Amino acid sequence: MNSLGIGIDLGGTRIKGAGFDLASGEMIHEEVAPARDGEREGDVPAFLSEVRKLVARFEEVEGHESVVVGVSSPGLANRAASQIISMPGRLEGLEGLDWPEALARPVTVLNDAHAALMGEIWQGAATGVQNVFLLTLGTGVGGAIVTEGRLLRGHFGKGGHLGHASLDFHGEPDICGMPGALEDMIGNHNVRERSGGRYESTRELVEAVKKGEEHALEVWERSVRALAVAVASFVNVLDPELVLIGGGISEAWDEIEGRLKNWMDEFEWRPGGGRVEIRRAALGAMAGAYGAAYFAMQRYDKG
């Protein structure tokens, strides 16, 4: 009989879940549910009710209770990995929710970008890699760092928030107060402002790039140049063997890869000729579920 581990990736719109055989790592079932942010079922947030239903269905499919559950979530997780201690503005009821108590099972909780990188290390583009960082390019820019095989969570859980690194100390502050942050240089949330009102989204901008529109090419080149400056800076600090690029914007990989690597040829410090490898993340939308399960399995194995 398989030992069941469950990974849950909690997002603002959807909850993605996957069940894994703990011995082989094989995914044996996956399912998606609505997050229902702002709704309640009785005395609990609706997202918690949906997670409980997912866990119950996974256990019904396998015919036995899960050994461990991992939850990937936006926000900062506490050091005990039992709850999210900071997630303002979304998923009301998430902050301070004790997940082991709420699910009545062994549960570990971690930030969604952290989970995505753990998933890539387990079964994705970073398998077997000991020193790697991930940038998730989406509405904003998230990140995660593994060094010497250990996930950097930090003292307050902020470790890996690379999108809030400053590239322009005269720039406008981002949502965390950082002037000229990376996420304001390439995130989807401010494409309209960055393009002078020409484009509403990264998808629209990239389509214009593919058509060779001069203004789009200028905006995109500036965005990818900023990404390269940031990547080269992080490489100098962390000295990884691999950099992963994920998130929704990475779907435009054909328009990112060549430009990014060309700028890296200019910016990267390469003593002895060594250069960092850059890849697109492989697990896509399910990375958080993979990583949540893997993180939970590791903590369970360590007792």
Q: What is the pLDDT of residues 22-44, one digit of tens each?
A: 889 999 999 999 999 999 999 99
Residues 137 and 268 in one domain: yes
CATH number at residue 62: 3.30.420.40
- Shared domain check, 94 and 228: no
- Is residue 124 domain-resident? no
Question: Does residue 67 lie in a domain region?
Answer: yes
**pLDDT reported for residue 77:** 96
Q: Is 91 inside a domain boundary?
A: yes
pLDDT at residue 99, as a whole number: 98
- CA 269 distance to own-chain centroid: 27
- Please report the pLDDT score of residue 65 as a whole number: 86
pLDDT reported for residue 54: 97
Alpha helix ranges (H) inside 124-213: 182-186, 191-194, 202-210
Q: How confident is the model at residue 183 (pLDDT cuts 50, 70, 90)?
A: very high
Give the residue carrying structure tokens 């790592």: 25
Inside any domain, residue 98: yes
Distance of CA 202 to the CA centre of its chain: 18
pLDDT of residue 50: 98
The identity of residue 71, as a single letter, is V
Confidence of residue 124 (pLDDT cuts 50, 70, 90): very high
Task: Specify whether 148 is located in the same domain as 262.
Answer: yes
Decide if 159 contacts 145 (C-beta within 8 A): yes
Give a yes or no: residue 122 inside a domain: no
Looking at the fold, whether 68 and 146 belong to one and the same domain comes out as: no
Strands 107-111 and 68-73: parallel
CA angle 221, 223, 228 (to 5 degrees): 90
Looking at the structure, tell me whether residues 144 and 110 fall in a common domain: no
Flag whether 123 is in a domain: no
Is the domain of 175 the same as that of 231?
yes
Residue 300's pLDDT is what?
A: 73
> Which pTM was predicted?
0.94
User: Per residue in 194-223, pLDDT tens?
Assistant: 999 999 999 999 999 999 999 999 999 999
- DSSP lists the bridge partners of residue 181 as 166
Report yes or no on 254 lying in a domain. yes
Percent of the chain with pLDDT over 70: 98
**Judgement on whether residues 16 and 89 belong to the same structural domain of the protein:** yes
2 pLDDT higher than 70? no
Residues 145 and 45 in one domain: no
The whole-angstrom distance between residue 280's C-alpha and the CA centroid of its chain comes to 13
Same domain, 263 and 225: yes
**Do residue 276 and residue 134 come from a single domain?**
yes
Predicted confidence (pLDDT) per residue in 45-97, tens digit: 999 999 999 999 999 988 888 899 999 999 999 999 999 999 987 899 999 99
Residue 64 is predicted with a pLDDT of: 87
Report the mean per-residue pLDDT for the chain: 95
CA–CA distances in Å: residue 250 to residues 2, 202, 298: 35, 10, 28
Q: How many domains does the chain have?
A: 2
- pLDDT attached to residue 1: 45
DSSP class of residue 160? T
Q: Using DSSP bridges, classify how beta strands 84-86 and 76-77 pair: parallel, antiparallel or unpaired.
A: antiparallel
Same domain, yes or no, for 103 and 187? no
Q: Domain limits at 55?
A: 4-117+285-301
Residue 249 has a pLDDT of: 96
- Please check whether residues 8 and 68 belong to one and the same domain: yes
Does residue 192 lie within any of the structural domains? yes
Closest to 96 (Cα-Cα) out of 125, 69, 76: 76
- Rounded average pLDDT over 109-129: 97
Residue-wise pLDDT for 246-269, tens only, equals 999 999 999 999 999 999 999 999
